[in-house]
Amino acid sequence: MIVRSIYYEPGFLKDWKKLERRFREAAVKAEKQFRQNPLHPSLRLHALQGKLLGLWFVSVTFDVRIIFKRMDGGDIVFLSIGRHEMYRGK
């Protein structure tokens, strides 16, 4: 997987503002790692299933995830960020 550019959906930015500072700091580190090596084991990159088929997540902390979609050409769109439960039951 190659990461060319990362874009942010308005929903991601709204979720970002709600995060505690410690999670925002961890997310900045995770994004930096993702840009350098999206397959780094600490990110626990996974494809989602069910109603979220076609989307992916990376781990920020044990229970905070970034959900994103991959675009043609290596572009990434961050859709949301939050606790693991944010996509359960969707």
Instruction: Domain ranges for the chain, please list them.
Output: 6-87
pLDDT of residue 1: 75
pLDDT of residue 32: 94
| Architecture per CATH, 6-87 | 2-Layer Sandwich (3.30)
pLDDT of residue 36: 93
pLDDT of residue 5: 93
Q: Give the strand order in the sheet containing 64-70.
A: 6-8, 76-83, 64-70, 56-59, 46-47
pTM assigned to the model:
0.88
pLDDT of residue 73: 87
Per run of 10 residues, the mean pLDDT along the chain (length 90 residues) is 90 94 95 94 94 94 93 93 67
